[in-house]
Structure 1
Amino acid sequence: MPPPKELPGFYYDAEKNRYFPIKGPIPGSSRSSTAKIGPKKSIPKSPPQERSPRRQLLKRTSKLLHARELNGNIIKSYNWRCNFREELLKIQASQPVVWKYQQTDRVGVSALEQLNIDVETFEGVVKTDVLLSGNLNGSLCFFEVRKEQAIDVTWMPDCVKNYANGKTYEHDEVPAPIVANYEDLIAKPSRISCIRLGPKFSSHGDDENPDVRHVLFTHLGSETSGGSVHIMDLAEPLMPTAISPIKEVASFKCTLWTAEYDYTRPRAVIGTNTGAAFVDLETGRTSWFLHCKSDVFAEQIFNSGNSILCGLRNGAIIAIDFRERRDRFSMRRVTYPPLDKKSGSSDKAWFKLRGNCQATRMPSSISSLVSLQFDNQYFLASSMDGSVRLYDHRLLQRGAVQSYEGHVNSHTRIQLGVDPQEKFVMSGGEDCYLRLWSIKSGELLFEDKFSDTVLSTVCFRKYNYSDNVFNPEVVNKYMNDYPLGAWLASQEGFYYVNWFSM
């Protein structure tokens, strides 16, 4: 039989007496001449271009916009479901712009609040945002916050960090504090330990737009004198030549660490090195409801002033409820096991209090407490070991319901800051970093260092008490009128952290 003809792309099987297509190298056969040329030279690939944070931000934003157009405000995916507005706010919060006010390191801030009050100017009485600064030397100062340029400007902002690459921000878009002869309103031998804003009480109850009219502040106390509680009346416009009336309500022979303003009645709640007490702001009468051997570092009022949170040096958080008749409560001793109880040890921490209580523990001294207004069953707490946690008043003894990782602390009282819409919690750290988390998810959204000292004080702009800041219409109004940002203070002075609107 004549040998079979060779057909390109086919091979002949003698046993089956037919041709089969060649689909690849036949096992055991030699490679074609093209395969013997040698290994294919690898073409060097150019390194991938690093995408700027701004480009990544725009890409993520465009995906969100596309998803919203397809699905509406609630965006669904195979693995998650989210709210468009919340995701957009997270993107904004992760790309802030940081401004530093030069030469403010001489102020020495220990407490800071922003408020909107009447200020006497050459044009008349004008509603103006001001920073009220309590200082380490015991003085109290007002600094006007103006959007327009002025001749008497003392401090102008300098942009030190812009995380939103590609965006520009003009100086006239950032409020600039100026000194208007409101310095050293009071002088004490000890630093101001806290400042709290009080509401305007209307005797007729028909004020449609209540605003801040009283300011509560406390002095820590020194070796020669104890702490004291003061009230400043801002009923009249602030004038450069006139000092607002300041009243000393009460003085103590103990250290006064913190205080809270009770918005339901004219009284304050103070935290000292011997316990906590109510102080009537009209008469100065003091009523102690907690005695303990551990300092009360932080306090919060919730449930319309009927319940109080106390954070102690030993790490205890005590929620005291006074909603029953006060005459039924007598001072009693309560014991509970310590956090790290040694085997065989019978030692127990104790305190005396009036009222019903629940207690939980954190690993170290309580640094800050913040009660959430949107759902007042929840509050945030931080301790000096770096823990930041979210708790539920109703399940306090079961522990935290959310944790926030990354905070750095060992011994400093660092304040937590929560934005008015209660989406984010912010805090400085002993490593001089600023961190910002999502309250709902616990996600760390921002972490960076732009200060060489600890950012221990933070405050957001306060809305009017009559406004519902959780109403979308009110939120949109304030978002258009005011940038979403926070004031920070350290030994280096004032910082302003702002998020762009998209």
Structure 2
Amino acid sequence: RCEQEEPWNSLNADTSNSGSSSEVCHSSPVPELPGFYYDPEKNRYFRLLPGHNNYNPLTKESLQYKEMECKRLKLLEEEEKQKKKTSRAGLNSSLVLRKRQLGLLSSTNYCRLVHELKVNCMQRRKVEIRSPDSSVTGTNNFKLIVADTACERIFTVNDVEHGGCKYGIINLSGLGKDSLTVEMYDNLYFTNRKVNSVCWASLTHQDSHVLYKLCLMGIAETPGCASLLPASLFSNSNPGDQPGMLCSFKISTAWSCAWCLNPQADNCFSTGLMRRVLVTNAMTGHRQTFGTSSDVLAQQFATQTPVLYNGCRSGEVFSIDIRQRSRRGHSWKAVRLFHDSAVTSVRLLQAEYYLMAADMAGKIKLWDLRAVKCVKQYEGHHNEYATLPLQINEEEGLVTAVGQDCYTRIWGLQDAHLLRMIPSPHPSSRDSIPSVVFSSRLGGSRGVPGLLMAVKQDLYHFSYNSDNP
């Protein structure tokens, strides 16, 4: 059983949600009749047909979609009208500043509360994407975006018409308070393979390459590959860079990948495969194999030690010290945690005493690795079958995740309080789940704070409101 700690609450404010997650489209108070739907506008019942039907819109699925779309549109309308919001009763910038001046708040908690206030007042603005090649932008849907360590660039994967993917790098240096323009560079690299996982890799210098895992679409038996794509291949992404080394490694069907930054496992990366973990040295090609009892859907390396954390389809989360020789069985698993559903994302906190994991049941849990127990749960996330990432911004005290319902949710890291739920600007669908990046320094050390959201063909910046200190 998950054990809940006392929530962090510097202001002793009411932590109840202020209605951000309340239902907008209320259900009718009339009695429910099996097989029938009550239309409050027409004040009558209609028969429901099972499954999908092209001729009668009154199916369970269509009604659920209509209700979700009604909720999304009303939340978007409310966000446009309400510029200043708060997630806690009584929390405002004047009170936070006064508490700080009286010495009742530490600098860390003060900064986190300021970010909480700012996050609740973020305003959506559409970003213009420019490119030397006009055919690059505005023609393909974003599949995912991944920021580099300094948040100066984001690597993008876009769907193309013939069913493959296209890659690009967006330079965020032009993003500012008064500028909503970014540069996108494309190397015209196409593939007929599905991208399962992406992360930045530091092969020759920090974030010099992008590691991504591919599998051939529609042919499960065909081996996939893990590739290291030099960022310098993208024209003008870093003008001073020389063409880098392009590496590709043939492997079986894989679900995840991770790059190791610990010097004891220099130039190593891992791939999570069907019932095994493969650790490869990118320079020598040397491989280590660790057998598992389930498919590995999520991975992350620790930085202080060469330890790899893995999340499995079975719900197990376990760690591997890759200094050990390849083994089968469970004897090499240093830490073992268990969720009730398939684990889709694992993230270590900076001190590496805590690990956060999300699963396909929509559960997000924070685990104490020393006590091997769950200490917090982050409620409200929605997932049923998708591999959805988590993002932790520890300095700002925020946790961000996009649900399968296409809502972006932001929680307070310390007390697991839901701060904001952001509806997608586009209608919800399976192929339009937003991909987001949050940072207090988008564009580098002198960058601007906020949230970047890529959905369909559009890129949005949710910026901090300068009118609310």
What secondary structure is seen at the aligned counterpart in 1 of 2:370? helix
| Alignment of 1:54 onto 2:84 | yes
Instruction: Measure, in 2, the Cα distance between the counterparts of 1:87 and 1:116.
Output: 24
Is it true that 1:378 corresponds to 2:359 in the alignment?
no
Question: Identity, % of aligned pairs?
Answer: 18
1:275 maps to: 276
> What is the SS of the residue equivalent to 2:345?
strand
- Output the amino acid matched with 1:133: T
Would you say 1:495 and 2:469 are equivalent positions? no
Please name the residue that 2:58 is paired with. none
Which of 357, 360, 363 is equivalent to 2:334? 357
For the aligned residue pairs, the C-alpha RMSD in angstroms reads: 3.5
Partner SS, residue 284 of structure 2: coil
Displacement of 1:61 in angstroms is: 1.0
Shift in alpha-carbon separation, 1:172–1:447, aligned structure 2, 3 A: closer
Distance 1:285 1:138, change over 3 A: farther
Q: Does 1:191 align with 2:194?
A: yes
**Do the aligned partners of 2:347 and 2:390 also contact (CA within 8 Å) in 1?**
yes
User: Where does 1:202-213 land on structure 2 (aligned, <5 Å)?
Assistant: 211-213=206-208
Q: CA deviation at 1:63?
A: 1.6
- Asked if structure 2 preserves the Cα contact closer than 8 Å seen for 1:97 and 1:497, the reply is yes
| 1:221 lines up with 2:198 in the alignment | no
Residue 484 of structure 1 corresponds to which residue in structure 2? 449
User: 5 Å matches for 1:408-447?
Assistant: 408-419=382-393, 421=395, 423-447=397-421
1:176 equivalenced with 2:181 (yes/no): yes
Within 2, Cα distance between the matches of 1:365 and 1:250?
27
Name the SS for the 1:279 alignment partner. strand
Instruction: Give the secondary-structure state (helix, strand or coil) at the position aligned to 1:67.
Output: helix
Helix, strand or coil at the partner of 1:71:
coil
**Could you tell me how far apart the structure 2 residues matched to 1:300 and 1:488 are?**
23
Query: Using a 3 Å threshold, how does the CA distance of structure 1 residues 275 and 54 change in structure 2: closer, same or farther?
Result: same
Q: Which aligned pairs between 1:155-166 and structure 2 lie closer than 5 A?
A: none
Q: Is the contact between residue 169 and residue 234 of structure 2 (CA under 8 Å) also seen in structure 1? A: no
Cα separation, 2, equivalents of 1:434 and 1:490: 12
Measured after TM superposition, the shift of residue 142 of structure 1 is 2.3
2:24 aligned residue: none
Give the AA of the match of 1:134: V
Secondary structure of residue in 2 paired with 1:62: helix
Which gives a bigger RCO, structure 1 or 2 (Cα 8 Å, sep 6+)? 2
2:153 to 111, 120, 130: 130
Q: Find the residue that maps to 1:84 and give its secondary structure.
A: helix
Contact 1:114 1:460 in 2 (8 A): no
- What is the Cα deviation at residue 405 of structure 1? 0.7
- 1:424–1:439 CA contact under 8 A, matched in 2: yes
Identify which of 394, 398, 405 aligns with 2:370.
394
8 Å CA contact 1:386–1:410 kept in 2: the answer is yes
Residue of structure 1 equivalent to 2:74: none
Name the CA shift for 1:249/1:146 in 2 (closer, same or farther; >3 Å): same
TM-score by length of 1: 0.63
The one-letter amino acid paired with 2:321 is D
What pairs up with 1:22-421 in 2 under 5 angstroms?
A: 54=84, 60-71=92-103, 73-74=105-106, 83-101=109-127, 106-115=139-148, 129-136=152-159, 137-147=164-174, 173-180=178-185, 182-185=186-189, 187-199=190-202, 201=204, 211-224=206-219, 225-234=222-231, 238-239=235-236, 244-245=243-244, 247-252=246-251, 254-264=252-262, 265-292=266-293, 294-322=294-322, 326=324, 329=325, 331-334=327-330, 355-373=332-350, 375-396=351-372, 398=373, 400-419=374-393, 421=395
> What 5-or-longer segments of structure 1 have no aligned partner?
1-50, 76-81, 118-127, 149-170, 202-209, 335-353, 465-476
Partners of 1:95 and 1:191 in 2: CA distance: 37
Q: Aligned-pair distance for 1:278?
A: 0.3
Which AA in structure 1 matches 2:199?
A: R
* Equivalent-residue separation in structure 2 for 1:419 and 1:133 (angstroms): 21
Larger radius of gyration: 1
Which residue is equivalent to 1:449? 423
Q: Any unmatched runs of 5+ in structure 2? A: 1-80, 130-136
Against the structure 1 CA distance between its residues 314 and 95, is the aligned structure 2 distance closer, same or farther, given a 3 Å change threshold? Answer: same
How much does 1:275 deviate?
A: 1.7
Q: Deviations over 1:423-443 (max 9, x none)?
A: 111111122211100111111
Deviations 1:337-395 (A, max 9, x none): xxxxxxxxxxxxxxxxx72433222121112111112x211111111111011112223
The letter of the residue matching 1:259 is C
Q: What corresponds to 2:51 in structure 1?
A: none
Q: 1:402 to 1:304 in 2, by over 3 A?
A: same
Mapped to 1, the partners of 2:233 and 2:139 lie a distance apart of 29
Measure the CA separation in 2 of the matches of 1:482 and 1:89: 15
TM-superposed CA distance for 1:408, in Å, is: 1.1
**After superposition, what is the alpha-carbon deviation per residue over 1:78-131, rounded to whole angstroms, capped at 9, x for unaligned?**
xxxx932222221112221223447977433333223489xxxxxxxxxx9433
Superposition deviation, residue 178 in structure 1 = 3.2
C-alpha contact (below 8 Å) 1:389/1:402 kept by paired residues: yes
Pair 1:108–1:227, CA change in 2 (3 A): farther
Is the 2:397–2:413 Cα contact (8 Å) retained in structure 1? yes
Alignment size in residue pairs: 362
Distance 1:408 1:283 in 2: 42
CA–CA distance in 1 between the matches of 2:396 and 2:253?
32
Instruction: Report the more deviating stretch, 104-113 or 274-283.
Output: 104-113
Once residues 485 and 388 of structure 1 are traced to their aligned partners in structure 2, the CA distance between those partners, rounded to angstroms, is: 23
- Give the whole-Å Cα distance in 2 for the aligned partners of 1:200 and 1:281: 8
Map 1:16-27 → 2, pairs under 5 A = none
SS of 1:83's partner is: helix
Contact (CA 8 Å) 1:221, 1:256: kept in 2 or not?
A: no
Cα distance between partner residues in 2 of 1:55 and 1:111:
29
Following TM superposition, by how much is the alpha carbon of 1:309 offset from its aligned partner in structure 2, in angstroms?
Answer: 1.0
**CA separation in 2, counterparts of 1:232 and 1:259?**
14
Q: Give, in whole Å, the separation in 1 of the partners of 2:358 and 2:91.
A: 35
| Aligned equivalents of 1:437, 1:56: Cα separation in 2 | 13
Distance 1:283 1:330, change over 3 A: closer
Distance 1:436 1:417 in 2: 10
Letter in 1 for 2:366: L
Contact map agreement 2:85 2:120 (CA 8 A) in 1: no
